[in-house]
Amino acid sequence: MKVVILGTAAGGGFPQWNCNCGRCASCRTAAAGVVPRTQDGLAISADGSDWYLVNASPDIRAQILATNLLAPGPGPRESPIRGALLTDAELDHSLGLLMLREGDGLEVHAPAAALDALRNDFAVREIVSRYGDWAWFSVDDGMTLGRLRVRVLAVSNKRPKYTRADAPGPWVVAFRIEDPATGGVLVYAPCLATWPEEFDAFVDGASYVLLDGTFFGPDEMSGSTRAGVGTQAQRAMGHLPIAGPDGSLVRIRKLCAVQPGTGWAYVHLNNTNPVLDATSPEYAEVRAAGVELPLDGTVLDL
């Protein structure tokens, strides 16, 4: 299984277009240790020929153009992209579908609540279906994409702000993608409101885990912190912080002791997160724990 990490930033990317916090300002001036990042998403393939997107951010066009493995051909209008998996219906994970309307259509797999939202609350499905032959499927535990097997774990009932109906969840899922031919296993969980009770078992035996790293600390967006860009409670945004006694890094350290063969990485990094600066002590703390902070365009062979 081949995996391309197309983007590693949270919604808005890095730097965020309307933010002049210290980190965004440093990124704009190309300060040492600070590099731009597009919004989070992956591309996966079992054979290097047929590719599936995992989330489709508003940056998807630029991400595809920057990835030679996703280049069209050999025919003038042939694309290797066959479909997409969505972890949820958030705008930064689904707006990219609109950017793909020039194609013949894709198959899209997403939680049932997300599919309903993309039809009833934000008519993405209706819009793109006018351009091509799109097919929509509710994600099922044990589904297959070619030879790849996909397991699904519900991780949150946080629904997008644009939704009007209080539809039952789950609204957010994590994916475990397995390649029986190589034994490679990828877990992708860019949105974790908590650490679910079943998550330890879900990542057991994984080759590589891409985990929600949106915020480093629990009060990162508070006006009392260095970021000083907002006051909304972070937990309400559906992202478990990295640091702290209840943070994800504590959990990762414990799992690394019993699962030393698993690689860990943080993605979906908010523009306020100090780990975006490779010279920061927070970056050093994460790397000292054996957790990676991959850049856009990183390729994994699993």
CATH code (residue 114): 3.60.15.10
Q: Is residue 47 part of a domain?
A: yes
Residue 69 in domain: yes
Q: Does residue 267 form part of some domain? A: yes
Is residue 302 a part of any domain in this protein?
no
> What's the total number of domains in the chain?
1
Beta bridge partners of residue 81, listed in sequence order: 51
Residue 269 lies in a domain: yes
Residue 213 phi, psi (nearest 5): -120, 30
Residue 300 in any domain: the answer is no
Domain assignment present for 208: yes
Domain residues for the domain of 207 are 2-295
Query: What pLDDT tens digit does each residue of the chain (302 aa) get?
Result: 999 999 999 999 999 999 999 999 999 999 999 999 999 999 999 999 999 999 999 999 999 999 999 999 998 889 999 999 999 999 999 999 999 999 999 999 999 999 999 999 999 999 999 999 999 999 988 899 999 999 999 999 999 999 987 778 899 999 999 999 999 999 999 999 999 999 999 999 999 999 999 999 988 876 544 555 554 555 667 799 999 998 999 999 999 988 889 999 999 999 999 999 999 999 999 999 999 999 999 999 99
Residue 151 resides in a domain:
yes
pTM comes to: 0.94
